[in-house]
Every structure is written in structure tokens, then in C-alpha cells.
Chains A and B, each alone.
Chain A
Amino acid sequence: MKTYDAIVVGAGHNGLTTAAFLAKAGLDVICVEKNDYIGGAAVSRNLYKDWWYSNCSYVCSLLRPEIYRALELHKHGLQVTPYGGSVTFMENGDYYGSYHDPEVAYREMARLSRHDADAYKTYSADTMRQCRFIRDFLLSTAPDPTSFKPRDLKELARIGGKFMEMGEARMYETIRFWTMSVAEYLAEYFETDVIKTALSGSGIIGTALGINSPGTAYVLLHHYMGEVDGNVGSWGFARGGMGAVSDSIAGAFQAAGGELRTEAGVDQFIVKNGKVTGVALENGDEIAAPVVVSAMDVKRTFLNCMDKSDLPEKFHRRVKNFKIRGSSGKVNIALDGLPDFSALPEGSSLIYSDMHFIDSMERMERAYDDWKDGIWSRDPFIDMVIPTLNDPTMAPPGKHFMSCFVQYCPYKIEGRDWTSEERDAFGQNVIDQIAKYSPNFKDLILHTEIRTPQDIEDEIGITEGNIFHGELTMDQLLFNRPIPGYAQYRSPIGGLYMCGSSTHPGGGVMAAPGANAAREILSDLKRPNTVPESFGDD
């Protein structure tokens, strides 16, 4: 039997990234994937002839440009197009648009509130400052604050130094920012409900928290720290759908000599004497390697694919208590044509933007209350985009694909499994909300795909279908992610590493966990590092 240098389990974008950097360092790497397609949650699925569905993740901006560049993803078919703006439709028939151009954005905001329009620049600078602070740590391993190792102390000192450099007043602001709720943070700048609402969505996307929950201001950052072409905070579409991201990383991996095997779900990690020796596949095959890297979430890795007795008891308990909560669903809709939004003026560029249909902070919070009660939000927060306007190749000519990210949506309905009627009702609820603002929308629907957290778990394998592989709360960030003491991609099992979004810096199609894990592995193997450094300050 052939022995590989390393096995990467799961061909999502992080698994592929780790695999690619390991392969580039000359290792003999195999990446195994349970599905018959690669990409994990960054996929373009050809569910209907001529239709490509970005049926899980749907926008691309967090993808670290350092990785893009180091893996030469453009050579492997990736093209990311920036898109701008967002629109929030209001119950009174008006709308609030946000635009790329700062002056246009200003005028639109001033239409609703002069105060808020002027406050925005301060808000923006304050938020960007936090963004700059954290961005620097994305492509590096979080230091262990309890350790006395020189590398940890050095990194802690670096973080401390960056913090001190802000000056006293801004240090306090930083402490507050990291601990407060997005609703409170916004209330310190803005007075207009719809403006706050439009900005608050980013504070809760993918989390099981409400906009009033402390800690959600940070989540806001998690969505802001993306960049396209150096424009921090802007969003992009991958041409051909999100699968293009995974395909291109896979391309880089294979070009470096890596081997991909699909329909190869892992049943067990094989552990001998506290060391991993390979994996046993669901079909009974075994693959041997001294290094195994799991791109699966931490619960699936250690609770489903490992014998409890192989793990330290405390670690096992911590993993069990790691919070991965299904809080969002997807409704993907194929359309016969472009829907008309009554509120939008003729020719408005907002049709290209993110669309939202909740216009008050109270509605945002109430949506969360439903989730806490174990039901889907009756008045959900929807983040909707029509990527085919930028990339017509995803649908037949003249047709459109619409991606609706829906929050909140529980993993289980009041503690039990979803029924198919409930799934349909959940989808219908989304369609009804959108149809309130687009009279011809319902008539244009050709087919829909409704995905609850349970569906996403069943298909992709992410526990509870959580887009971040774990809540982005303070107790699960940085040196706490995923498990305190195991935040540096290593597990208690020798040779077994983690590289998925459960690890620092977390989810989103960022690929930073995958890259950071590769760096740690290469360092353990005493191989030359192939993982790029952060571009640093710009």
C-alpha cells in the first residue's frame, strides 16, 4: 500500500488550500472528499441543465489576496469581480441604497438623515481602524496567552504593541468594540432606523446571536475585513459561481502534483499510540500517511471520526461543547427573467447589489427571538443577490439565478427534525417576503432549491450547517478557537491537524485557516514554508 506524506480530509476551500501549500512544498499529498464533487460549501452545482447554483456560499471577498496570489489562482481559472452596494427595501415603499461611490452614498444617506450622512465617515474610520487591527492577524497563528514559548510571547508582544500603538483613547474604543453589540455600536453613530438596520446585518450573518447580543460588533468586522483589489470592505463574485474558487485552488493543488479523490468519505482516523497513521474510508479502503489534516469542522472530526478513547477526556468534552449552531438557510431560485423591484428607480445600479427586506432594528431582533424558540424567523433577514447580472454564464441567456441567504433558520424545529412540508413553508416564507417588493417575482420562478441547516449538514457535512464551522463569539475566537490550548492547528493526536473554518481566524471563504495550518505543518516537518506572509499595511 502506498504511503502518502499527508492526507487532507475534505476538499472544501480550506482543505484544498492546505493541500496546495503542502504539495507546493514537495510533499506527496492526497485530498479526499466524501462527495462526488469538490468544493465543500464553495461550490457551483449544476443542478439543472445550463444552471450553475452557488448553492452554499455566494460571495467572495474574504479570500485572502496573499493566497490568491501565492497559488496563482488566476492561472487556474479564478476571476473575482467586485460588486458594490446594497439596498434595503422599506415597508413604506421607499428604500435605502448604499453605493460604492462615497459621494453618491453620502447623498442617499443625507436624503434620510443629514446627521447620519455626516456620521458615516467617522463610523467608517472607527470600524476600519478595528479592521486594520485584526486583519494583520488573519494570516498568522494566534498566540497562546498561557504559553511561555518564545514564539507565543513574541506574537503576544506584537499584538500588544499594535494595541498600544493606537494610543490611550483608541485602546478604550477597541475594548468596547470587541465586547459590545452591533446594535449599540451603530446607535452611537446613527439615528435612522433603516440605516442602522442596513448596517447591522453583517453583525449577525452566520451567527446564532441577535443584533443586541454583546459581541456582535466584532462579527460585523468579520464581514468587513474582506477586500477586492485592495478595496477593503468590498464584495466580489467569482465568475462561474463560488465553485470557481474551489476549482482554482484544486487546480493549483494538482499542478503541484497533488492527488484528489472524490467519493472518498472518511470513516475513521486511524490512531496508533497517540499518533495518527492514516484514514479508513467509508468504502473500507485505508490510506496511510504520517500527517492527516482535517478540513472538517472540529465536532465532525473528533466526535464522528474518532474513537473517544483516543482523545484526552477534557479535550473531548471541550469539543462536545464547542458551539456550532445552525442559524441560517439558503433559498436558491432560478428565474425566467429579471424581477422588477417597484421601489427602485429605472436604471438603478442597486439591482446589482445585495438586497435586504427588513427595515427596522426591532424586526431584526424579533427574527432572532423566533430562532431561540426553535422555529424559523417568520419575518427573516434575507441577504439576496442576483449574481447572473455580473456573470451571465451561470444561467441560460436572459435567465437569472438568485441566491437568498436566510437568517434565522434553526437546525431542528423545536428540537426535532424538519419535515419536507416545513422545508417548503420555510422557502415559501422567503419568497413571500421578496414578492412584497417585487410584483412579478413569483411568476418568474422556474425552480427553487431550499436548504435548511440540516440539509447543508447532510450534504456538505458541516455540523448544523453553520457557515463558519462554529460561532464567532469571544469564547471561540483567536486563541480560543476552536479549543483553548489547541488553537494552533495541532490536535492532541500526533500528526493530526485541523485546517477548517473551526480554526482561527474562522469562516467565510477566506482560506486563511487552510494556509495557517499548512504553515504550522511545514514547520513541524521542517520543510520550507510555502505559505505567504500578510501583505501588511497599505
Chain B
Amino acid sequence: MSVRAPVHQGRLKSPFYSRLKQLDTVNEWHEWKGYSSADVLYCAETEYFAIRNSTAVFDLTPMTKYRITGPDALDYLNRLVTRDMAKVRPGRVAYAVWCDDQGQVIDDGTIFHLREGEYRLCSQERHFAWLMAAAMGFDVTITHETEDVAALAVQGPTSFSVLDKMGFDGLERLKPFDLGHFDFQGSEIMISRTGFTGDLGYELWIDPAQAEALWDALFAAGELHGIRAIGTTALEISRIEAGYLAAYMEFLPADETVRTGRSRSPLELGLSWLVDFKKPNFNGRRALAEEKRNGSTWRLVKLDIEGNKPAHNSYIYGSANGRKGEIGFITSAVWSPVCKQNIAIGTVRMPHGKPGDNVWVEIYYQREMHWNRKMAKATVVDKPFWFPPRRGAKPPGPF
């Protein structure tokens, strides 16, 4: 044992760090699960429009990744998550949530069925202890592989063209939520047609040793397609436009909540389509069945809000004068540059918030030191704010 072990206080650097650093002009970084991650590299707006107009590249490496293998891998996952994983063939990706025994969401994530009986679970938060506890009685192996897999999101209308130019044969066959294994300079790369932007896009998964070569090849191929590296700020705008949930925004991992009633069930998050009661047993099933019978407390709403002042941290009311009291609050809000809409995701008490309902949002905004308050009317919408046809195009068109 070396006596003076290194100080464990420095942030981790992703295998793409050197390339991001080269492109970085503003030096705005934050910590993401121990890694240095860029908020912005040059200009958040320009970066955002790369997602919607050309190709945006985002370093996904800090996402938590687990490899799940073994004869019981499918049974294990089926008990873990609420949806039926038997329907997810090899080569497919599934969005899933998993709950504690009380039917409260611990986290959401994507599960990649890499090969027959071999899965990767990818989530925002870290869950090794829970995944191990859930493995009791199953013949599965769970390996933490966050640091062993470098990952990039390549998103935007020209993303297919860029990757196609790199020579990934058969990429055009990937439908949304498909994955494929390809060759990159003699080593294997996994590409999935997934993303967090609601646009046409892919995610690339590779051995960290190949990370810099992949980046260089990608940027060389994308030069004429407007490829840009982006930071978290731009991604977050597209995430809200696509109506995706984020841990610590739309919900808290149930096992980390201290106060009662601060966690959410999948039904309360608008994810009932992910809950398959036909499965005889999955974690949270008994509690969720009861909730389904008795009704939920909360409902997740997507809001189209009048005006142009983003409704950060706002209360939601059932009436314009707020006299009936607040019925909920906003969890994510942004001005959508592509929809030119003032959009938000929020949570309201049942029975409020049916699609088409009107609610009122109390917005505070500051102009030259002074604060202004506005009660803005909002409409509950049930579709994502941004869902371009190219996102689902089979095969994706060249741009």
C-alpha cells in the first residue's frame, strides 16, 4: 500500500476533456457526478441552435452506467423497473423508471439491450447499492462502468449525415430507440438512436482509449455540417422543449427524500404508460396498484404560458387572482427559442391540470434592480413542445 495516496479532492476529467478544453472560450464549468462538465463553451444560444439546425456534440461520459449480465438479467430488470422488459429485444433501447416498495420513483434512465441477455442501464444518479439489493435471489452480475465507457451525444438534423460520412455502415437502419455495434478504427463502437434533445440524434459509446480519436474523426466529418460542441445550458433548453424529466428537477430520488410527500410515483409523473400491471411482480407494484385505485396526489403538467417571462420557481394557481390558493409549482421553465413559446414543466395537485385546463403562474422577474410580479395564464398541453418529424424519420434524411 503506497503510503501517500493521492488527494481525492480533484474533479475527474472525462476522456474528452482535452478536446472540450481546446474549444472552450468562456471557462464556465460545473461539477457533474464528480466530473468537470462545461456549462457553456462559447455561447449558449449558438450552442442551442446547433442542436436544432446542425449537429451538437455533448459529452455524456458522467452519466452513470451499469452493465447487467447473467442468466437472470431479464428477470432481474423486470422486477426492477415498471415496464415489461421482455418486449425489449436485443438491439433496442428502453426508457424506464424504477421505484421503491412504496411505488415512489428512485430514478429514470435508459436500458440498452446490447446483446442477448446483456444490458446497460444508464441513469443520472448512482444506484449501485439499490441495484445490488435488488439482485438478491437473481443470478446476475452488475458492474459499474461509468468510467469504462466514454459517451457522446451527437444530436441535430445533420447528425445522421455526419455519422454516415464517418462510414458507419447500416446506420440508416437504426430506428428511434435502436442500437447497433459498429467498427471504429478497428475497435467496437455502440451507437444508439437516442438522446435528450427531442430531435434527430444519436449517442455514441466507446472505450475511453478511443475517445479522442472518435472526437477528432467526428469533428472532421462534421466540419461541413456545422458540428459544434455544446455545454449543459444548451442541452437543458432542448430537454425542456422535448418534455423530458430530470432527476432533482421534476422528481427527487425517493431514497434521498427526508420529508414526507416529496417523492413522486410514475403515475404522478405522467409515466403510467411505463407501468405494466400485467407483470405479476415489480418493485412498487402493490403500492402503484393501490394508487391507481385510490387516485394520485400529484400530476405532472407541461405548460404553455402567456408572455415571454420564464416562470422559474413559480407557484401555480387555479385562478387568476390566486384566491383559491396555490395548486402546485413549476419545476423547469424556459423560453423556447425554436417554438417561440414560454414553456414550463410543473407539478400540480389532482384533480387540477387536465390537458386543456387553464392555470395561472406567478412570475417574478427583475428589470433594472426592481422586481415585477405577473400572474400569467397558462394552458396545460399533453404533447411535447418540440417533436419534429425528422426525429422519427425512417430512415433519417440527409441534410
Chain A residues with a Cβ under 8 A of chain B: 92-95, 97, 99, 101, 103-104, 106-108, 111, 114-119, 121-122, 124-125, 128-129, 132, 165-167, 169-170, 189, 342-349
What are the nearest 4 A-B pairs in CB distance?
A: A119-B129, A118-B128, A118-B129, A122-B255
Flag whether B181 is at the interface (Cβ < 8 A): no
Flag whether B89 is at the interface (Cβ < 8 A): no
A348→B7 CA distance, assembly (Å): 7
6 A-B pairs (CB sep. < 8 Å) = A93-B1, A95-B5, A114-B144, A116-B129, A117-B126, A119-B129
Task: Evaluate contact between B127 and A118: CB separation under 8 angstroms.
Answer: yes
Known contacts A99-B9, A125-B258; is-contact A93 B3 (Cβ 8 Å): yes
A345→B5 CA distance, assembly (Å): 6
A108→B6 CA distance, assembly (Å): 11
* A69 CB, min distance to chain B CBs, angstroms: 24
Closest residue on chain A to residue B5 by CB atoms? A345
Flag whether B27 is at the interface (Cβ < 8 A): no
B126-170 interface code vs A (CB 8 A; 1 in, 0 out): 111110100000000000100000000000000000000000000
B1-37 interface code vs A (CB 8 A; 1 in, 0 out): 1011111110110000000000000000001011000
Flag whether B116 is at the interface (Cβ < 8 A): no
- B8 is contacted by which of A108, A165, A343, A346 (Cβ under 8 Å)? A108
- A346 is contacted by which of B4, B9, B126, B256 (Cβ under 8 Å)? B4
Closest residue on chain A to residue B9 by CB atoms? A104
Q: Which of B4, B9, B260 has the most CB of A within 10 A?
A: B9
Q: Which residues of A contact B256 (CB under 8 A)?
A: 121-122, 124-125
Task: Evaluate contact between B7 and A128: CB separation under 8 angstroms.
Answer: no
* B268 CB, min distance to chain A CBs, angstroms: 15
Q: Which residues of B contact A347 (CB under 8 A)?
A: 7
* A482 CB, min distance to chain B CBs, angstroms: 31
Q: Which residues of B contact A342 (CB under 8 A)?
A: 3
* A302 CB, min distance to chain B CBs, angstroms: 40
- B128 is contacted by which of A115, A132, A169, A349 (Cβ under 8 Å)? A115
- A165 is contacted by which of B1, B33, B255, B260 (Cβ under 8 Å)? B260
Task: Evaluate contact between B3 and A343: CB separation under 8 angstroms.
Answer: yes
Closest residue on chain A to residue B7 by CB atoms? A345
Apart from A346-B7, A349-B9: 20 A-B pairs, beta carbons within 8 A: A92-B1, A94-B1, A95-B5, A103-B11, A103-B33, A104-B9, A117-B128, A118-B127, A118-B130, A121-B256, A122-B256, A125-B256, A125-B257, A132-B258, A165-B260, A166-B260, A343-B3, A343-B5, A344-B4, A347-B7
Within B287-321, which residues are at the interface with A (CB < 8 Å)? none
Q: Which residues of A contact B223 (CB under 8 A)?
A: none
Flag whether B336 is at the interface (Cβ < 8 A): no
Flag whether B183 is at the interface (Cβ < 8 A): no
Task: Evaluate contact between A94 and B144: CB separation under 8 angstroms.
Answer: no
- A106 is contacted by which of B6, B34, B127 (Cβ under 8 Å)? B34
- Chain B's interface size range is 20 to 34
* B263 CB, min distance to chain A CBs, angstroms: 10
Closest residue on chain A to residue B131 by CB atoms? A118
Known contacts A121-B255, A345-B4; is-contact A170 B129 (Cβ 8 Å): no
A118→B259 CA distance, assembly (Å): 20
Q: Which residues of A contact B126 (CB under 8 A)?
A: 117-118
Flag whether B102 is at the interface (Cβ < 8 A): yes
A94→B5 CA distance, assembly (Å): 8
Task: Evaluate contact between A107 and B8: CB separation under 8 angstroms.
Answer: yes
Q: Which residues of A contact B9 (CB under 8 A)?
A: 99, 101, 104, 349
Task: Evaluate contact between A115 and B129: CB separation under 8 angstroms.
Answer: yes
A111→B5 CA distance, assembly (Å): 11
Q: Which residues of B contact A94 (CB under 8 A)?
A: 1, 5
* B133 CB, min distance to chain A CBs, angstroms: 9
Flag whether B382 is at the interface (Cβ < 8 A): no
A36→B11 CA distance, assembly (Å): 53
Closest residue on chain B to residue A105 by CB atoms? B8
Closest residue on chain A to residue B257 by CB atoms? A125
Flag whether B101 is at the interface (Cβ < 8 A): yes
A344→B258 CA distance, assembly (Å): 34
Known contacts A106-B34, A343-B3; is-contact A122 B129 (Cβ 8 Å): yes
Q: Which residues of A contact B1 (CB under 8 A)?
A: 92-94
Q: Which residues of A contact B127 (CB under 8 A)?
A: 118
Q: Which residues of B contact A122 (CB under 8 A)?
A: 129-130, 255-256
* A360 CB, min distance to chain B CBs, angstroms: 16
* B18 CB, min distance to chain A CBs, angstroms: 21
A504→B359 CA distance, assembly (Å): 49
Q: Which residues of A contact B5 (CB under 8 A)?
A: 94-95, 343, 345
Q: Which residues of A contact B31 (CB under 8 A)?
A: 103
A132→B132 CA distance, assembly (Å): 29
Q: Which residues of B contact A103 (CB under 8 A)?
A: 11, 31, 33-34
- A107 is contacted by which of B34, B101, B128, B132 (Cβ under 8 Å)? B34
A522→B89 CA distance, assembly (Å): 73
* B66 CB, min distance to chain A CBs, angstroms: 10
Q: Which residues of A contact B102 (CB under 8 A)?
A: 167, 169
Q: Which residues of A contact B128 (CB under 8 A)?
A: 114-115, 117-119
* A389 CB, min distance to chain B CBs, angstroms: 17
Closest residue on chain A to residue B101 by CB atoms? A169
* A341 CB, min distance to chain B CBs, angstroms: 10
Task: Evaluate contact between A97 and B255: CB separation under 8 angstroms.
Answer: no
